[in-house]
Amino acid sequence: MTRPHEDLERHTFVDHRDGGPSVTFPSGAWCAVDVAHVASDRIDAGLSAYETLIEKARTSSAKAGRAVVLRSEDNRSVLALVEIGGHEAYAHLRSAWEESRLYTEHRAVATSSDLRLYRVSTCSGETGIDPASTDAYGFERTELDPEQTRAFVRTVVAAPGFVGAFLFEDPDGRDGAVVYRFRTRSDIASFRGKSVACMHPVKSFGSA
């Protein structure tokens, strides 16, 4: 599958076909997490922009490693998870993305976009994010303190249809984010109602 942003920076080769290896972010890994809400007719452009930005980050001073891009089932959200080396690498990635015309254009069509640095603190069950999987994924930012967020993860693990989850924590302990995996969309809907859009991995990148 070829996406619209492929031709914007021809000097950077990116294979925009869906797929890639199953990716797991181990406990202790630093990750840049960016979630953008877009108009449904701009979803492919958003996916392509992130794929190109990640590929560039893997060969730059940001030293990005494993990464994955997911799309929401309603085609209104794009989620990018990128493993990096820590605070310094995150600063390089943020600076590079803010200077990129791809990211500038993507933000111009997004209703919101929020890039943050987290560290993986807890992993439970099967945490792989696999573009070939038929499982359903969910993502939530939790404006909770670390202990409250861990309590929420425990409710995820106990829910019917649970497959796996991992918890991101803000390095300053201000908030967190959770990626979870359930067998079906119905399992996520039963657990969270309509508050969370079901997501599916589109493109993944293994270790650089």
pLDDT band with cut points at 50, 70 and 90 for residue 79: very high
Model confidence band, residue 7 (pLDDT cutoffs 50, 70, 90): very low
Q: What is the mean pLDDT of the chain?
A: 84
Rounded to 5 degrees, what are φ and ψ at 99?
-85, -15
Of the two residues 200 and 63, the one the predictor is more confident about is 200
- Domain that includes residue 122, residue range: 4-205
- The stretch 176-197 carries a mean pLDDT of 87
pLDDT for residue 39: 81
pLDDT in tens, 141-182: 887 777 788 888 889 999 999 999 999 988 887 788 899 999
pLDDT-based confidence at 9, cuts 50/70/90?
very low
pLDDT of residue 170: 87
Q: Note the pLDDT tens digit of each residue in 53-72.
A: 898 888 877 778 999 999 99
Q: Answer yes or no: is pLDDT of 11 > 80.
A: no
Query: How many structural domains is the chain composed of?
Result: 1
pLDDT of residue 193: 75
Q: What is the pTM of this model?
A: 0.86
Q: Would you state the structure tokens that stand for residue 166, as one six-digit string?
A: 């991992």
Closest CA to 120 of 54, 65, 57: 65
Binning pLDDT at 50, 70 and 90, where does residue 32 land?
A: very high
> How far apart (Å, rounded) are the C-alpha atoms in residues 52 and 16?
8
For residue 146, give the nearest of 111, 120, 164 by alpha carbon.
120
Q: Which CATH number covers residue 166?
A: 3.30.70.100
16 pLDDT exceeds 60?
Answer: yes
Range of weakest confidence among 16-20, 100-104, 142-146, 201-205: 100-104
Q: Extract the runs of DSSP E, i.e. beta strands, from the chain.
A: 30-38, 67-72, 77-84, 110-125, 136-142, 162-169, 176-182, 199-205
**Amino acid code (one letter) for 169:** E
- Can you read off the two tokens belonging to residue 79? 């989620």
pLDDT(6) > 50: no
